[in-house]
Amino acid sequence: MQTRTDLPLSLVSAPFTLGSAKASGVPPNRLRRGDVAHVSRELYRPTTWSFELEAAARALSAASPGAWISHVTAARIQSQILPAWLADSTELHLSKPHSLPEVRRRGVIGHSVLASEGETEIVDGIRISSRSRTWLDMARRLSESELVCMGDELIRVPRVEFEDRTEPFDTLEGLRSLVARHPNLQGVVRARAAIERMRVGADSAPESLLRLAMEDAGLPEPQLQVPLREDKTIGPTADLGYRRRRLAIQYDGDHHLLEPQIFSDKRRDKAFEAAGWTVVVFGKKDLADGFERAIRQIERGMRRGQLDHPQASGFADLI
């Protein structure tokens, strides 16, 4: 049975604001007891609470009218692609318009920024920067290739059978417009450069990084999501490839180690090989060495494709 000294259940599992405590009938002096910790202005948490980013961001958002969760915090909450060194970040970032006082909260990284309509939204009760605005905010911190990976995810066409959406999060034109609205934002030059290297069709960050490594090595830009038969909308596809050279390039991530997926991958590769294609498959070890070995293997595959199709006169004819 709950006594008058117990906290309501709604306040014992996550951080909470002074306003929510008052609304639950908790007097201010109750918040000075040992089972409650004062985090910062009008923000509290149970002392037994184990940190969880979304819960912390939710309370911070509720305690900060006019502000929004941003940068790496927003990226993590919305499960956007981040490099490994940021994937488990527990940083709390809060952005405010210039018209509001600067963020001064212990443990919170504050930003005073300009944001246009549509660059923030409310997701599950949390005011947060949009995915595209989060990508732009991260330009001050990520490398060009990391920004390309994050951006490729924004513009990829979703697979309706696996995802609860039919449209991409944004388009190249939309991202260019976003960048143009913020010419003085730190990192904007890197964001512009990243947009020029982003492509629709990459299904994962390693696929994007492999494509960039190929380009940096001087190889012609590959096609993405290459179907075995041009006139077929269903059937096996290659993550990257060169149709004229009959070269299919696959990046198999960790989920490809599951037995059903291994069987599916073998059928996929055999279908390409039966049609006269060379298939090269890469994985985590290749990602770890920056795809150096992979590039050499792709170059060999391209030379083989040139021998198999001697009527083609150069790279442009063989893509």
Residue 314 has pLDDT above 70, yes or no: no
Say what the pLDDT of residue 317 is: 45
Domain residue extents for the chain: 1-50, 53-200, 202-319
Q: Is the pLDDT of residue 1 over 50?
A: no
Asked whether the predicted pLDDT for residue 180 surpasses 90, the reply is yes
Model confidence at 196, pLDDT cuts 50, 70, 90, reads: very high
**pLDDT score, position 204:** 94
Using the predicted structure, report yes or no on whether residue 301 has a pLDDT greater than 70: yes
305: pLDDT strictly greater than 80: no
- Rounded to the nearest integer, the mean pLDDT of the chain is 90
pLDDT at 3 over 70: no
| Structure confidence by residue, pLDDT tens digits, 10-38 | 888 889 999 989 988 898 889 989 889 88
Spell out the CATH class of 1-50: mainly alpha
- Regarding predicted confidence, which is higher, 29 or 132? 132
Residues in the chain: 319
Tell me the average pLDDT across 116-134: 96
Residue with tokens 């600067």: 102
Tell me: the pLDDT tens digits for 138-165?
A: 999 999 999 999 999 999 999 888 788 8
Q: How far apart are CA 146 and CA 208, in angstroms?
A: 9
Name the band, by pLDDT with cuts 50, 70 and 90, for residue 254: low
pLDDT of 312: 45
Q: Tell me the DSSP string of the chain.
A: ---TTSPPGGGSSS-EEHHHHHHTT--GGGGGSTTEEEEETTEEEETTPPP-HHHHHHHHHHTSTT-EE-HHHHHHHTT----TTTTT----EEEEETTSPPP--TT-EEEEE---TTSEEEETTEEEE-HHHHHHHGGGTS-HHHHHHHHHHHHSPP-TTTSS-SS-S--HHHHHHHHHT-TTSTTHHHHHHHHHH--TT--SHHHHHHHHHHHHTTPPPPEEEEESSTT-SSS-EEEEEETTTTEEEEE--GGGGSHHHHHHHHHHHHHHHHTT-EEEEE-HHHHHTTTHHHHHHHHHHHHHHHHH-TT--SHHHH-
Q: What is the pLDDT of residues 56-95, one digit of tens each?
A: 999 999 999 999 999 999 999 999 999 999 999 999 999 9
Q: What global pTM score does this model have?
A: 0.85
- Two tokens at 58? 């939710």
Domains 1-50 and 202-319 fall in the same CATH topology: no
For residue 256, pLDDT over 80 is answered with no
The C-alpha atoms of residue 280 and residue 154 are separated, in whole angstroms, by 27
| pLDDT tier for residue 258 given thresholds of 50, 70 and 90 | low
Cα–Cα separations (whole angstroms), residue 180 to 111, 170, 175, 191, 219:
20, 15, 9, 10, 31
Question: Please, which contacts does 175-184 make with residues 24 or more away whose CB atoms are closer than 8 Å?
Answer: 175/132, 175/135, 175/136, 175/151, 178/119, 178/132, 178/133, 178/136, 179/136, 181/116, 182/114, 182/136
Is the per-residue pLDDT at 2 higher than 50? no
The superfamily in CATH containing domain 202-319 is VSR Endonuclease (3.40.960.10)
